[in-house]
Each structure stands twice: as structure tokens, then as C-alpha cells.
Amino acid sequence: MMRRTLENRNAQTKQLQTAVSNVEKHFGELCQIFAAYVRKTARLRDKADLLVNEINAYAATETPHLKLGLMNFADEFAKLQDYRQAEVERLEAKVVEPLKAYGTIVKMKRDDLKATFTARNREAKQLTQLERTRQRNPSDRHVIVSAETELQRAAMDASRTSRHLEETINNFERQKMKDIKTIFSEFITIEMLFHGKALEVYTAAYQNIQNIDEDEDLEVFRNSLYAPDYSSRLDIVRANSKSPLQRSLSAKCVSGTGQVSTCRLRKDQQADDDEDEELDVTEEENFLK
């Protein structure tokens, strides 16, 4: 009867040991993976900071609207990295650290298991000794009573440690489930907060890029191709001051360097022809006289 009770206690203790080992294994893996997740997020933040610096450096070389759009985009992207830094710190504090704490908790539970196994082994040893004493000296009541007394003490100690272990593991299981709910809820909340802010920032950044006036910047770029000397500025003023008809005629003539020369040549030829016609008319009139 006593041996069967001892075997039942051993089976119970092994089951508790399996529960502790299961937590030790999987919580350890979760801790490592979450820690790697946080490190990757921190590295992403660092790379984003480099990207912000490069965007600003490039923007400084560009035309006004593109420059402004890129700089505003970089500002929004830098703001996002502040939120990402907060995400990293919260994940470290609310997810990684609680999981890491289970290393110490599991160690304490293993110490409790070890104490229980020690008490059980002592009980089993005393039970074996009592059975041998009864077999070898069945008539020696003094030795048998002494062995029974030692067994009773060992059994009481084993029973006490078993109850303590059972209570401890029960609390451990309850706390484990509570912590799992808390840790994963914190993880989801932190990620939702970050991605909510990220959506706002990315929306603003997208709008800044879409607001870049391509036509204005292209006009600035085209103007920059010509040397800004006095004559070119004067030509621009003259062109802007002409009537629509004059600008239309000028556009036909001034389409290239060769065309300008041809237009001028045609005008000179037309003037010469007019003068020749006038001379012919004068000569004809003089002839008729």
C-alpha cells in the first residue's frame, strides 16, 4: 500500500517536472526569438536613420520643389524612427524582460523539484530498509520499530514537500498563463500603436512626395541650362513684351541658329527686291517722259 502511494507520488512529481521543463524550453526559445526581433527592429531604425541622412544630402542638390518634397519626406521618415525607437524600448521592457525572468523562476521550481525528489528517495530508501529488516529479523521488534519510525519521518517529510511542490507548481501554472496573456497582449498593443502612427506618418510622407510640382522644377532646370548673362535676360524681357502676333512671327523665325540666319537673309533679299522694283518704276517713268 505504501509503495503504491510512493509510486503515485513519483508519477505526480514527474508530471510536474515535465510541466516545468516544457516552460523552460519554450519560454527560452520565445525569449531568444523576441530578443532577435527587437534587435532586427533596432537595426531597421539605424538603417532608416542613414536613409534620412542620404535623402537630405540628395535633396540639397535638387530643384526647389523636389528639394522641399524630399526634405519634408525625410522629416516624416525621421519622425517614424522616433516611434520605432519607442517600439524597441517597449518591446524590450514588456516582452523580452518578462520572458527572461522565467529563467530565474524555472530555476527556483527545479530546486523545489529537487527537494521533493530527495525526500521521495529518502522515503523509498527507508521503505526498502524496513522491508529488508522484516525479512531478515522478523522477531527483532526493536529494530523493526526503529525502521518504521524512520520510514514514518521520511514519509511525512516527503508528503510535506509533495504538498508544497504541488501548491507551488499550481501557482506557477496560474502565473504562467497570466503572464503569457499579458506578454502577448503587450506585444500586440505595442505593434498596433507603432503601425497606427506609421500609417499616419507614411500618409503625410506620401502626400509630400505627390505635392512635388514637376513642371515648375522642369522649367527651373531648363532655365538653368542657359547662362544668366545680361543679353539673355534682355532677350527674355523683349520676348515677354512682344504682342501675340509678334511672338508668333518670332517663334517661326527663331527656331534655331541656322533658321535665324535664313530668316534675316530672306528679309534682306525682300528689301533688295523692293528697292529694285522702285528703281525699275522710276526708270520706266523717266523713259516715258
Write out the three cell numbers for 146. 526503529
Specify whether 156 is located in the same domain as 192. yes
Identify whether 224 is part of a domain. no
CA distance 223 to 231: 14
Provide the pLDDT for residue 201.
97
Instruction: Provide the pLDDT for residue 274.
Output: 54
Q: What is the pLDDT of residue 91?
A: 98
Among the three residues 192, 216, 240, which one is the final residue of a domain in this structure?
Answer: 216
Which residues contact residue 94 at a Cβ distance below 8 angstroms, ignoring those fewer than 6 apart?
183, 186, 187, 190
Per-residue pLDDT at 261 exceeds 70:
no
pLDDT at residue 276 greater than cutoff 80: no
Is 236 a residue whose pLDDT tops 70? no
Yes or no: say if 189 and 87 are a contact pair by the CB < 8 Å rule: no
Residue 10 in contact with residue 92, Cβ under 8 Å?
A: no
- Domain span including residue 262: 231-288
Q: Which domain-ending residue is among 170, 185, 216?
A: 216
Q: What is the pLDDT of residues 54-80, one digit of tens each?
A: 999 999 999 999 999 999 999 999 999
CA 282, 285, 287, 289 dihedral sign is: negative
Question: By C-alpha distance, which of 60, 71, 52, 81 is closest to 211?
Answer: 71
**Number of domains comprising the chain:** 2
Q: How many residues does the chain have?
A: 289
Angle 95-106-4 from CA coordinates, rounded to 5°: 140
How far is the C-alpha of 101 from the C-alpha of 122, rounded, in Å?
A: 32
Q: State which amino acid sits at residue 138.
A: P
DSSP 256: S
Q: Pick the closest to residue 149 from 134, 127, 132, 124 (CA basis).
A: 127
Distance between first and last Cα of the chain = 164
pLDDT single digits (tens) 27-55: 999 999 999 999 999 999 999 999 999 99
Q: Is 60 helix (H, G, I), strand (E, B) or coil?
A: coil
Q: What percent of the chain has pLDDT over 70?
A: 69
Q: Looking at the domain assignment, is residue 221 inside a domain?
A: no
pLDDT confidence of residue 169: 81
* pLDDT, tens digit (0-9, with 9 covering 90-100), for 79-114: 999 999 999 999 999 999 999 999 999 988 888 777
Same domain membership, residue 259 and residue 175: no
Q: Are residues 115 and 255 in the same domain?
A: no
User: Cα separation of 183 and 33, whole Å?
Assistant: 14
CA distance 140 to 30: 60
Q: Does residue 85 share a domain with residue 138?
A: yes
pLDDT band at 145 (very low <50, low <70, confident <90, very high): confident
pLDDT band per the 50, 70, 90 thresholds, residue 126: low
Query: Helices in the chain by DSSP H: which ranges?
Result: 2-59, 64-91, 97-136, 141-210, 214-224, 230-241, 244-253, 257-288
Report CA Rg, the chain: 47
CB 89 within 8 A of CB 42: no
Please indicate, yes or no, whether residues 153 and 12 belong to a single structural domain of this protein: yes
Whether residues 89 and 201 fall in one domain:
yes
Mean per-residue pLDDT for 113-130?
71
pLDDT, position 247: 45
Average pLDDT value for residue range 225-246: 51
Residue ending a domain, choose from 191, 216, 241: 216
Domain-located, residue 223: no
Lowest mean pLDDT across 13-22, 189-198, 199-208 = 13-22
Q: Dihedral angle at the C-alpha atoms of 13, 16, 22, 25, nearest 10 degrees?
A: -70
CB-CB contact of 106 with 27 (8 Å):
yes
Torsion of CA 241, 243, 247, 253, to 10 degrees: -100
Exposed (0-12), middle (13-18) or buried (19+): which is 110, by Cβ within 10 Å?
middle
